[in-house]
Structure 1
Amino acid sequence: MKFIHTADWQLGMTRHFLSGEAQPRFTESRVDAIRRIGQLATDEGCEFVVVCGDVFESNQIDRKVLARALDAMATTPSVTFYLLPGNHDPLDAASIFSSNTFRERPLPNVIVLEDSAPIRVAEGVELVAAPWTSKRPLRDLVDQACAVAEPSAALRIITGHGALDSRSPDAANPALISLERLEERVEAGQINYVALGDRHSTTDEGTSGRIWYSGAPEPTDYDETDPGNVLVVELRPERVEVTPRKIGTWSFQQHESHLTSDADIDSLEQWLNALEDKQRTVVKLSLVGQVSLAQKGRLDRLLDHFADLFAALETWERRSDLVVVPDEIEVADLGLSGFANDALGDLQELALASDAFDDESRAVAAQDAMALLYRLVGSAQ
């Protein structure tokens, strides 16, 4: 028996660095991923799809997002989607799963996992869920779900959401999921597979090969490891086979560039050019080094150009240290005199001052001002 394990769709998510038409494109891509998951389930002969929490970004998402999500799941009516409420969309009084839009248009292939009662999902296979009913549970919901489920000869899939105690630095959090307890239950044959959500990186946990985070089907940030997957799980009494399958279309890229020459700027341009599907790529640059006014002007034009191509192009301020130092020839070429020349001298002094935080901020502003002055005077000549 095969099924798809996925999680953290977080439909309706917004990102502060996305602007203009990039945010709607990001939103639509997350809905499109549902259709790809349904089609993959059909192609692989999977019995169902289980979504392990955070189906929606919150319980207050736009109604259009919910309507489009349901429509996307309806495109593969032969595939049943089991939805687990997580910390972003808990099953509380304001639950999105209780909204009029959700209840007025019920789909026979969409089932919300509202409690831990075992659900027969295939011949000899049961699903036991650990839904969140609040944003701050006071116990290990997965262990609780395992404990209340009556023993059964059926193969058991446990679906939960949250952080494992083996990964969390907050040992006092009562909602942490005990990896040791899960391993014990797997070893005893009480559990055959543990499908988890919350961690956006595809991860095989423990030593059994039966406890997995699927990761988010579309990447959401730079620090995720191997995101953009769903897991095709083949479950048999004697073994489990888990195969990650790439679903995501977006990419988050971090890049450090050391700039001291025109050749270095050429290399940065080549790296940016080589990135594929730029409209679905978010880039964060760390710029380090020392450049002239002319080189800073060229760099600014380069970044302006690629900012129009990528979904977002950011400069990683905390890890950037780019100093603009005009040489004597550049200053002479500007042909400034009087007040303007005095102002340039003041900017040069400020640009070299970076001992304190305030000085560093002023230094960056001064460097940018000199680069702008160079561009403006150059365009007027």
Structure 2
Amino acid sequence: MASVRFLQTSDWQLGMTRHFLRPEAQARYTAARIDAIHAMAGLAGKHACDFVVVAGDVFESNLIASQTIRRAMQALAEMPCPVYLLPGNHDPLDAASVYDTDTFTACCPENVVVLRQPGPYVVSAGVEILAAPWATKNVLGDLAARALSGCEADGTVRLLLAHGIVDVLSPDPNDVSMLHLEAMEQALGKRIIHHVALGDRHSRLSVGVSGRVWYSGSPEVTSFVEDAPGEVLIVEMDSAGGHTVQSEQVGTWSFVDLRRHVDTSADLEALQHELAGLRPADRTVVRTALTGTLRLADKARLEQILAEADDLFAGRFTWDRHEDLAVIIDEAELGDLGVGGFASQAAQELAELAAGSGEQAVCARDALSLLYRLAGGGVR
């Protein structure tokens, strides 16, 4: 009976940049994506994997820095088993393919195989990978179905390796590149194939009813909408129908949405405590969307809390579309400023503007909050 154990991953998108990261944070984010390969090498050894498959989008694009290629290949050379790379829609095998560059060709270690042609690749006796590589960024048809064409159940343990969205998840019913789930499930039912490893979705997800069609997700988080990023899968299967899937964490970064209502000092204290609990801060990106009504003193305190977060986190920014904060300004608080002369007159004018609406009112409220903090009213 043929059996096999392998590590499934996808969507490394090495060389990816995030616009909300400062240069120093972007450098660490780039390094973390290479670190994830080292972590996978450790897991492949720990679980005695026979091979590793990357289900598409190894690189962010075909126009990638040579440094990224060299560091990736150096990390892949540490894998204790063969690694099979499937070109995806980000790094297709077109005329500008990264896999055909001099740098890749020179640095590619012996244990790395690029799956350039659709169809079967013999991994070992009785074990095959059915590959569905992208030859262009715009494919016409179901590449997984093409890879399956002509295959029959003959006792060979087969893994279908493809990249793309399955039809049951696609928002576009007219997308000609969709992968048809029913055809995969039928092939699984007939034991033509025994597992489907998919890339494109950046969150771990099992689709269909067989429990054998899986997206592993990206090994490092890439956006705020991902449900289970930062993981890889350890898959074991055999010709008799045995099949297990186990997830393992390799990612170290987090993208966190904080949508909170703040009206009181207690709300601000809770927000500050929540931010302090996000660790490690230098690998966490926070998107805040705050609603509520604050006094001028509390608005100044909020700005200081967020300023401290800006310094600590890899990234912290406001989700403007969902931010809705109002500020109550009264004469007592203006009097607490303890400023006179032109500063007092300016504060009064800002208060009048802040009572209005629109962008000018927002700027006026921010200016008053800053003045409050500079005058010593804010939290130090």
1:299 Cα offset (Å): 1.4
In structure 1, the residue matched to 2:6 is 3
Letter in 1 for 2:107: R
In structure 2, the residue matched to 1:235 is 237
1:31 to 31, 34, 49: 34
TM-score between both structures, scaled by the size of structure 2: 0.94
CA distance in 2, matches of 1:75, 1:184: 37
Question: Residue 118 of structure 1 aligns to a residue in which SS?
Answer: strand
CA distance in 2, matches of 1:284, 1:376: 26
Asked if structure 2 preserves the Cα contact closer than 8 Å seen for 1:47 and 1:122, the reply is no
CA deviations on 1:53-90 (whole Å, 9 max, x unpaired) are 000011111110110000001123x3111000001101
In structure 2, the residue matched to 1:107 is 109
1:19 to 10, 19, 22: 22
Question: Residue 111 of structure 1 aligns to a residue in which SS?
Answer: strand
Report 1:23-172 matches (<5 A): 23-76=26-79, 78-149=80-151, 152-172=154-174
In structure 1, the residue matched to 2:209 is 207
1:270 to 273, 284, 290: 273
Residue identity (%): 46
In structure 2, the residue matched to 1:371 is 369
1:203 Cα offset (Å): 0.4
CA distance in 2, matches of 1:115, 1:294: 65
1:335 Cα offset (Å): 4.6
2:306 to 303, 318, 332: 303
Letter in 2 for 1:180: E
CA distance in 2, matches of 1:132, 1:15: 25
In structure 2, the residue matched to 1:218 is 220
1:287 to 290, 303, 306: 290
Question: Residue 21 of structure 1 aligns to a residue in which SS?
Answer: helix
1:378 Cα offset (Å): 3.6
CA deviations on 1:232-258 (whole Å, 9 max, x unpaired) are 000112121011111111111111222
How much is the aligned-residue C-alpha RMSD, in angstroms?
1.6
1:346 Cα offset (Å): 3.9
Asked if structure 1 preserves the Cα contact closer than 8 Å seen for 2:99 and 2:105, the reply is yes
Aligned CA distance change for structure 1 residues 14 and 148 (closer, same or farther; 3 Å):
farther
Unaligned runs of 5+ in 1: none
1:377 Cα offset (Å): 3.5
TM-score between both structures, scaled by the size of structure 1: 0.94
Asked if structure 2 preserves the Cα contact closer than 8 Å seen for 1:128 and 1:149, the reply is no
In structure 1, the residue matched to 2:334 is 331
Letter in 1 for 2:368: M
In structure 2, the residue matched to 1:185 is 187
State the 4+ residue runs in structure 1 displaced beyond 6 angstroms: none
1:151 Cα offset (Å): 6.0
CA distance in 1, matches of 2:156, 2:374: 75
Instruction: Say how many residue pairs are matched.
Output: 373
CA distance in 1, matches of 2:348, 2:331: 12
In structure 2, the residue matched to 1:253 is 256
CA distance in 2, matches of 1:295, 1:315: 18
CA distance in 1, matches of 2:211, 2:305: 47
1:311 Cα offset (Å): 0.6
Asked if structure 2 preserves the Cα contact closer than 8 Å seen for 1:33 and 1:218, the reply is yes
Aligned CA distance change for structure 1 residues 149 and 100 (closer, same or farther; 3 Å):
farther
CA distance in 1, matches of 2:338, 2:153: 87
CA distance in 2, matches of 1:236, 1:298: 61
In structure 2, the residue matched to 1:314 is 317
Asked if structure 1 preserves the Cα contact closer than 8 Å seen for 2:153 and 2:190, the reply is no
1:50 Cα offset (Å): 0.2
CA distance in 1, matches of 2:200, 2:259: 29
Question: Residue 45 of structure 1 aligns to a residue in which SS?
Answer: coil
